[in-house]
Chains A and B, each alone.
Chain A
Amino acid sequence: MSWLFTLDHKRIAIMYMVVILAAFFLGGLFAVILRTHLLTPRGLIPGNPAKVAELYNHIFTLHGAVMIFMFIIPAVPAVLGNFVLPLMLGAKDVAFPRLNLLSFYLYVAGALFFLYVLLGGVLQVAFGIHLPGGFGLDTGWTFYTPYSTDKTASGVVAAVLGAFIMGFSSILTGVNFIASIHTLRPPGMTWFRMPLMLWGLYATSIIQILATPVLAVTLLLLAAERVFGVGIFDPKLGGDPVLFQHFFWFYSHPAVYIMILPAMGIISELVSIHSRKHIFGYNFIAYSSIAIAVLSFFVWGHHMFVSGMSNVANVIFSLLTFSVAIPSAVKVFNWLATMYRGQIRLNTPMLYAVGFIALFTIGGLTGLFLGALSTDVHVTNTYFIVAHFHYVMMGSAVFAFIGGMYHWWPKITGRMYSERWGRIAWTLIFIGFNITFFVQYVAGAKGMPRRYATYPEKYTGYHRHSTAGSYILAAGLILVAANWVHSLRRGRQAPPNPWGGNSLEWHTPSPPPHDNFAVRPEAGDPYDFSGWKESADGAAWLRAHQPA
């Protein structure tokens, strides 16, 4: 009970963690079902082909929608951000603790509603079990019109309502973080002495409050059209279906950066701390976060190069899209320069940081094929796209999230995890991920369209390769979960500062007391590690000079 009404950001973060990891598990489970189905060209799910195709469509929609709306968008801000942001600010809590709790309940309400509708649809199509109102969703997470407004029999309005509610949770978290960063910074913490994680969260919050309302409006229009027949998107009613794509991507492209910017913030922390070296090019990394946030609003058209937009619009969107490449490249080179001449310890969080840099590089560079007009025309809406966004979302954002979870796990739970099993799981995940998704670049370049329940036989080899990798990936993720659960029960007590970090969260016990700090701390340079030295047994970092 004390948990359900808590205003403590740490407890809210942990509640978010439980729900969001459950969503990740569910989305992952359905991903494995999809990959298993695709082992053969006609698909492995038995039954009437029309029913099987319908079920496949419900499942791929569920996988995408759950992963995006319920997992990746909230994962880093709501779990790690909520826990770490006030600690990094040396504050007792976020600026608006009640709003924080409200945002959690909005998320849970939206998520449960959304899941009920989507899972209801899967049950109905697969087993003929009818839940009241559980009509499912088979539009893909993108809700493209006029399929979503005119043709599908699935529960678009209910699903849209769920996404709408979760959107409000996202907006409120953004408001809270912006207010906290503006008002709660401790003495000594100027804007350019904030940990880069806070810059990442700040840039993310700006996108959340500016872009999410557009999604909310778009989804409301969609529901209005489906229920009342308002002619906005459906050409039969005088609307324009491509207009929906403009509205949708005006939110959903920036949303990609809601997923990746806080992940980049995590990587900046991890790389610096575990290389025992001051972050390289602090200002450039901070500015590049803001630059990415701003530019992200001007590139949505690159999702629509084959939709029939004018050639002029296509050329302009292509040029703007390439501009995002530069701040992204700047970050990668700065992380590398941070590692240069460091004292790198390849523990589990650092492995995920290294994995992130490698996979983000591949994911980012393959974005060049999609920004360039003529290559995009060939590979868009094929598995090349699927591979690209999994490299950026799963290989980058999820790697950073898991790395951040390991990194702050001792702070959150007060327990250490098993390094040995952490490394084994990372190896499986890294190998499994690349086996699963790299081959999808090839399948896509060869012409394999996405969202196909069955496929021409010449693509069988690619699909089998990918499915085999997904099992390795799944095994690795299960090991991560097992490691965390084991740590909760048997893990060694965590010291206040297991890594020798200098941002303020490492200046308080693990887990932190209710008010976080006994006295309001003063912030120094978060990347100056010279004030800490390792204990003789290597288990903790202690202050080099006890403060007088």
Chain B
Amino acid sequence: MQPCLSFILAESFWMPEKAAEGAHTVDALFAFIFWVSAFFSALVIGLLVLFVIKYRRGAQRTHGEAPSHSTALEITWSVIPGILVIVIFYLGVRSYLTLTVPPPDAYEIRVTARMWSWSFAYPNGHIDSELHVPVDTPVQLVLSSDDVIHSLYVPAFRAKKDAVPGRYNRMWFRATREGTFDLYCAAYCGTGHSQMLSRVVVHSPEDFQRWLRDASDWRSRMTPVEAGRMLYERRLGCIQCHSIDGTPRIGPSLKNLYGYEQKFTDGTSAIIDENLIRQFILNPTAKVPVGYAPVMPSYRGQVSEADIDALIAFIKSLSDRGPRITDIPGPATAPTTAPARPPQ
């Protein structure tokens, strides 16, 4: 009993890792309420068991009369819980305000949620589907949503805020250690809700600057296929709904999409080419592959022509009917259907 009990009472049994300033105030309040609850649960359940045994019918004792009311007792057991809940209320407000009122010099990142991915826009214009932040620096997120209500939740920071269409919500935190932490969507948002996962990567300030610089000038350093992969994985978050290994997710896999025949829900079918891929990105509900729902949001206005070109190049590279992109085709002896080398 003893080891079992101490196990349940340990903080690590209840709370996830801590990685933000102020998280300890939440944990301290959690522990305080936990002990209050444990005490009263033990009291009530202990008395229940005691009474059920001691005052069971036929027990060898005289039951004696007990009063049927006592104003003094009623006031006692109203006032004591009353004082306790006021203390808890006060501690909750104090801890909440430290967690929600950002310092004026916070680094600001603009967060846009959409079904079912996150986009984090940094002050220099870079957009990423993962949240990268410097350690020991106050970071403020300004959240909104393109479609329905989502909720950004980082358990390690004890931080959560809804992303609501048509309004801006704020949250802030100061990460206290480097590492990678889970980021969830906590407000139910439809089919892909449980796949709307991302990460918070906490860097040292120097690493953060390096990461931001490298991430920002990706276009000048990358081939179109690499740039498309970057857009797919990080910037647009296509990866949330489309795999590249053939497994269907919310949407079809991008593997062997290009060059193959595809049936659509309107009964038509076509071989996927550049024009169709472009249409899928800009007007996704016009033609929906059989077996999938018309749920993909349009990326019109969020992608440039160069982005679309890069995505098309990337998707073509995933198909064994795509073009060869690494070798210059030799004379007539070279096979014309040589598979494209999959990106590493």
Contact = CB atoms under 8 A, between A and B. Distances in A.
Interface in A125-158: 138-140, 144-147, 150-153
Contacts of B325: none
A284 B74 contact: yes
B197 interface: yes
Given A50-B250, A308-B164, A337-B73, A354 B52 contact: yes
Interface in A282-302: 282-284
Given A151-B115, A318-B93, A329-B78, A381 B194 contact: no
A275 B47 CA distance: 14
A318 B91 CA distance: 11
B211 interface: no
A378 B158 contact: yes
Given A48-B291, A49-B250, A374 B155 contact: no
A276 interface: yes
Contacts, number: 284
A275 B68 CA distance: 13
Residue with the greatest number of chain A CB neighbours at <10 A, chosen from B13, B64, B194, B248:
B194
A142 to B, nearest CB: 8
B272 interface: no
A354 B45 CA distance: 9
Contacts of B182: 447, 456
A447 B295 CA distance: 27
Nearest to B37: A365
Given A375-B29, A381-B160, A330 B74 contact: yes
A311 B160 CA distance: 14
B100 interface: yes
A341 B64 contact: yes
Contact of B92 (A307, A375, A447): A375
A532 interface: no
Given A340-B66, A382-B186, A374 B29 contact: yes
A449 interface: yes
Contacts of B151: 306, 381
Contacts of A381: 151, 153, 160, 186-187
A451 interface: yes
A396 B193 CA distance: 30
B165 interface: yes
Contacts of A527: 68
Interface string B55-99: 111100001111111100110011001100110110111011101
A359 to B, nearest CB: 10
A84 interface: no
Nearest to A362: B41
B52 A330 contact: no
A420 interface: no
Contacts of A140: 188
B69 A282 contact: yes
Interface stretch (A193-201, A207-215, A222-230, A343-351): A343-351
Residue with the greatest number of chain A CB neighbours at <10 A, chosen from B85, B99, B249:
B85
B29 A449 contact: no
B106 interface: no
A400 to B, nearest CB: 15
A306 B162 contact: yes
B166 interface: yes
A495 B91 CA distance: 56
Given A368-B33, A452-B193, A329 B15 contact: no
Interface in B140-179: 147-149, 151, 153, 155-156, 158-162, 164-167, 169
Interface in A205-260: 235-236, 239-242
Given A280-B68, A339-B52, A372 B91 contact: yes
Contact of A308 (B161, B188, B295): B161
A357 interface: yes
Nearest to A55: B191
Chain B, interface residues (CB within 8 Å), range: 35 or more
B184 interface: yes
Contacts of A344: 51-52, 55-57
Contacts of A326: 78, 81-82, 85
Chain A, interface residues (CB within 8 Å), range: 35 or more
B166 A330 contact: no
Contacts of B158: 374, 377-378
Interface in B242-281: 247-251
A343 B64 CA distance: 10
A138 B190 contact: yes
A365 B32 CA distance: 12
B26 interface: yes
Given A345-B57, A381-B187, A372 B44 contact: no
A138 B182 CA distance: 26
Contacts of B187: 144, 381
Given A371-B89, A374-B25, A375-B92, A311 B249 contact: no
Contacts of A279: 68
B149 to A, nearest CB: 6
A5 interface: no
Given A332-B44, A365-B40, A147 B86 contact: no
A48 B248 contact: yes
Contacts of B169: 308
Contact of B30 (A51, A138, A283, A369): A369
B195 interface: yes
Contacts of A307: 149, 162, 164
B85 A366 contact: no
A341 B55 contact: yes
B40 A361 contact: yes
30 contacts: A49-B247, A50-B192, A53-B194, A147-B149, A236-B165, A239-B166, A241-B148, A242-B164, A281-B74, A315-B93, A319-B89, A329-B81, A333-B73, A336-B48, A342-B63, A343-B56, A344-B56, A346-B52, A361-B45, A368-B37, A371-B89, A374-B29, A378-B160, A381-B151, A442-B14, A445-B16, A446-B14, A446-B155, A447-B155, A447-B184
- Nearest first, the 3 A-B pairs at minimum CB distance are A235-B166, A447-B155, A372-B92
Given A329-B81, A337-B70, A374-B95, 17 more contacts: A145-B149, A147-B148, A151-B295, A281-B74, A307-B164, A330-B78, A339-B52, A342-B55, A374-B26, A374-B29, A377-B96, A377-B99, A445-B16, A447-B156, A447-B182, A451-B193, A454-B195
